[in-house]
Amino acid sequence: MLIYSLKRLGIAVLVAIAVSLITFSLLRLSGDPAAALAGESATQEDIEYVRKQYGLDRSLPVQYLDWAVKALQGDLGVSIYLKQPVIEVIKERAPVTMKLGGIALTFALLLSIPLGVLAAMRPNTIFDRAALTLAVFGQALPSFFFALILIVIFGVQLRWLPITGNASWQNYIMPAIALGYYATPAIMRLTRAGMMDVLASDYVRTARAKGLRPKVVLFKHALRNAVIPVVSVSAVQLGFMLGGSVVIETIFAINGLGRFAWQSIQRSDFQAMQAIVLTFAIFYVLATYFADLLNAFLDPRIRVTG
Amino acid sequence: MAMGVAGAAVLALAGSPAIAGKADNSLVWATDREVNVPLPYFENVREMVVMSRMVWDTLLYRDPKTFEYRPQLATDYKWVDNVTIEMNLQKGVKFHNGQSFSADDVVETFNQVSSPDSGVLSKRNVSWIKNAEKLGDYKIRINLVKPFPAALEFLSGPLAILPKGIWDKAKTDAKGKKDYGTIPPIGTGPYKMSKVVTGERIEMTANKDYWDGPKGKPSIEKVVFRTVPDPETQVAEILTGSLDWIWDVPKDKAEDLAKTGTLTVKNVPTMRVSYITMDHAGRSGKKDNPWTKLKVRQAVAHAIDREAIAKNLVGGASSVIHSACYPTQVGCTQDVPQYKYDPAKAKKLLAEAGYPNGFKSDIYAYRQREYTEAVMGFLAKVGIKTNLKYMQYKALRGIVWDGKAPFHHMTWGSSSMNDVSAITSHFFKHTRDDYCRDPDVKKWLDVGDTSTDPEVRKDSYKKALTRIQENLCWLPMFTYAKYYAWTKDLDFTPTPDEIPRFFTAKWK
The answer to whether the Cβ–Cβ distance between B122 and A41 falls below 8 Å is: yes
Break chain B down into helix, strand, coil percent, rounded to 5.
35, 25, 45
The residue count for chain A = 306
Residue B149 has pLDDT above 50, yes or no: yes
Contact B499, B186 (CB under 8 A): no
Q: Name the closest residue on chain B to residue A259, using Cα atoms.
A: B229
pLDDT of residue B106: 98
Please name every residue paired with B487 in a beta bridge, in sequence order, or none if there are none. B263
Distance CA B343, CA B305 (A): 9
- pLDDT for B14 beyond 60: no
For residue B17, the model assigns a pLDDT of 36
Q: Which residue has the higher pLDDT, A272 or B198?
A: A272
Q: How far apart are CA B193 and CA B207, in angstroms?
A: 10
What part of A 11-70 touches B (C-beta under 8 Å)? Answer: 31-32, 35-36, 39-41, 46
pLDDT tier, B180 (very low <50, low <70, confident <90, very high otherwise): confident
Of A41-45, A152-156, B7-11, B389-393, the one with minimum mean pLDDT is B7-11
In this predicted structure, which of B228-232, B326-330, B401-405, B412-416 has the lowest mean pLDDT? B412-416
pLDDT at B13 over 60: no
Q: List chain A residues with CB under 8 Å of B20.
A: none
pLDDT in tens, B35-91: 888 999 988 788 999 999 999 999 999 998 888 899 999 999 999 998 999 999 999
Chain B partners within 8 Å of A163 (Cβ): 233, 236-237, 240, 242
From the list B263, B262, B157, B234, the residue with the least C-alpha distance to B499 is B157
**Measured on CA atoms in the order A20, A21, A23, A27, is the torsion positive or negative?**
positive
| pLDDT higher at A224 or B439 | B439
User: pLDDT class for B7, splitting at 50, 70, 90?
Assistant: low
- Please report which confidence band the pLDDT of residue A28 belongs to, taking 50, 70 and 90 as the band edges: confident
Residue A271 pLDDT > 90: no
The reply to whether A173 touches chain B by the CB within 8 Å rule is: no
Residue of A82, A152, A247, A264 to mutate for B, most B C-beta atoms under 10 A: A152
Residues B112, A215: Cα–Cα separation, whole Å: 76
How much is the pLDDT for B16? 38
Write the CA distances from A74 to A20, A87, B50, integer angstroms: 15, 7, 37
| Distance from C-alpha of B227 to C-alpha of B200, rounded to nearest angstrom | 5
Chain B, residues 127-186, CB within 8 A of chain A, namely 173-174, 179, 181-182
Of A134-138, B80-84, B293-297, B419-423, which gets the smallest average pLDDT? A134-138
Average pLDDT over residues A179-206: 86
Residue B63, min C-alpha distance to chain A (Å): 27
What confidence score (pLDDT) does residue B176 get? Answer: 66
d(CA B258, CA B485): 8
pLDDT-based confidence at B297, cuts 50/70/90? very high
Q: Yes or no: say if B410 and B365 are a contact pair by the CB < 8 Å rule.
A: yes
Instruction: Give the pLDDT mean for B178-197.
Output: 92
pLDDT at A5 (0 to 100): 79
* Interface contact flag, B228 A255, Cβ < 8 Å: no
Contacts (Cβ under 8 Å, ≥6 apart) of A248? A100, A143, A144, A147, A175, A178, A179, A254, A258
**Distance from C-alpha of B347 to C-alpha of B344, rounded to nearest angstrom:** 5
Q: Is a pLDDT exceeding 80 seen at residue A202?
A: yes
pLDDT band for B372, please (50, 70, 90 cuts): very high
- Among partner residues A40, A163, A262, which is closest to B233 by beta-carbon distance? A163
Q: Give yes or no for a contact between B485 and B254, defined as CB atoms under 8 angstroms apart.
A: yes
If pLDDT is split at 50, 70 and 90, which confidence band does A41 have? Answer: low
B398 in contact with chain A, both atoms CB, cutoff 8 A: yes
Q: In B206-244, which positions are buried (b, 16+ CB within 10 angstroms) versus exposed (e)? A: bbeebbebebeebbbebbbbbbbbbbbbbbbbbbbbbbb
Which among A182, A267, A211, A40 has a CA at the least distance from the CA of B124?
A: A40
Q: Which residues of B touch A78 (CB under 8 A)?
A: 173-174
Question: B431 at the A interface (CB within 8 A)?
Answer: no
Q: How far apart are the first and last CA of chain A?
A: 10
Share of chain A above pLDDT 70, in %: 95
d(CA A79, CA B60): 35
- Which pLDDT belongs to residue B168? 92
Q: Give the up-direction half-sphere exposure of residue A52: CA atoms within 13 A in the CB hemisphere.
A: 5
Does residue B122 surpass a pLDDT of 70?
A: yes
Residue B316 gets which letter from DSSP? T
Burial class (CB in 10 A: 0-12, 13-18, 19+), A269: buried
In this complex, the residue of B2, B36, B124 whose CB is nearest that of residue A145 is: B2
| HSE-up (13 A, CA, CB side) for residue A289 | 18
Q: Please report which confidence band the pLDDT of residue A215 belongs to, taking 50, 70 and 90 as the band edges.
A: confident
DSSP letter, residue B101 = P
For A243, phi then psi, to 5°, come to: -70, -45
Which of A179, A159, A161 is closest to A169 using CA atoms? A161
CA-CA-CA-CA dihedral for B456, B460, B462, B465, to nearest 10? -150
Q: How many CB atoms lie within 10 A of CB A248?
A: 30
* Residue B178, CA atoms < 13 Å, CB-side half-sphere: 12
pLDDT tier at B152 (50, 70, 90 boundaries)? very high
Taking an 8 Å cut-off on Cβ atoms, the answer to whether A156 and B124 are in contact is no
**B266 has which bridge partners?**
B484
For residue range B336-360, list pLDDT tens digits in order: 999 999 999 999 999 999 999 999 9
Beta carbons of B359 and B290 less than 8 angstroms apart: yes
B122, B174, B229 ranked by CB distance to A85: nearest: B174
C-beta separation of A219 from A117 below 8 A: no
What percent of chain B has a predicted confidence (pLDDT) above 90?
75
Instruction: Tell me which chain B residue has its CA closest to the CA of residue A84.
Output: B173
Residue B251 Cα to chain centre, angstroms: 20
If you average pLDDT over residues A262-273, what whole number do you get? 82
C-alpha distances in Å from residue A57, one per residue of A49, A61, A67, A76, B190:
10, 12, 14, 19, 47
Residue B11: the pLDDT is 47
Mean pLDDT of A157-170: 90
Closest to B361 measured CA to CA, from B382, B339, B342: B382
Kindly calculate the radius of gyration of chain A based on its CA atoms and give it in whole angstroms. 23
With a cut of 70, say whether residue A305 has pLDDT above it: no
ipTM of the complex: 0.75
CA-CA distance, A301 to A228, in Å (whole number)? 12
Q: Report pLDDT digits (tens) over A105-119.
A: 999 999 999 889 888
Q: What is the mean pLDDT of chain B?
A: 91
Question: What torsion do the CA atoms of A168, B199, A275, A31 make, to the nearest 10 degrees?
Answer: 140
Q: Is B230 on the interface with A (CB under 8 A)?
A: yes
Interface contacts A/B by beta carbons within 8 Å:
88
Asked if B230 lies within 8 A of A251 by C-beta distance, the reply is: yes
| DSSP states of A133-175 | HHHHHHHHS-HHHHHHHHIIIIIIIS--S--S-SSSGGGGHHH
Q: Are B156 and B60 in contact (CB under 8 A)?
A: yes
pLDDT digits (tens, 9 = 90+) for A121-140: 888 899 889 888 887 887 78
pLDDT at position A223 is: 78
Backbone phi and psi for residue A275, each to the nearest 5 degrees, phi listed first: -65, -40
Contact (Cβ atoms closer than 8 angstroms) between residue B230 and residue A250? yes
Q: In one letter, which amino acid is B439?
A: P
Q: Which of A33-42, B34-43, B190-199, B464-473 has the highest mean pLDDT?
A: B464-473
pTM higher than 0.90: no
Q: What is the distance between the alpha carbons of residues A118 and A136, in angstroms, rounded to a whole number?
A: 16
Q: Check CB contact under 8 Å for B242 and A163.
A: yes
Minimal CA–CA distance to B129: which of B68, B116, B414? B116
Per-residue model confidence (pLDDT) at position B20: 58
Q: CB–CB of B249/B30 below 8 Å?
A: no
Name the 3-class secondary structure at A304. helix
The DSSP annotation for B27-84 comes to: EEEEES----S-SSSS--SHHHHHHHHHH---SEEE-TTT--EEESSEEEEEEEETTE
Which pairing describes strands B84-89 and B129-136: parallel, antiparallel, or unpaired? unpaired
Set of chain A residues whose Cβ sits within 8 Å of the Cβ of B394? 31, 35-36, 268
Mean pLDDT (chain A, rounded)? 84
Distance CA B155, CA B64 (A): 15
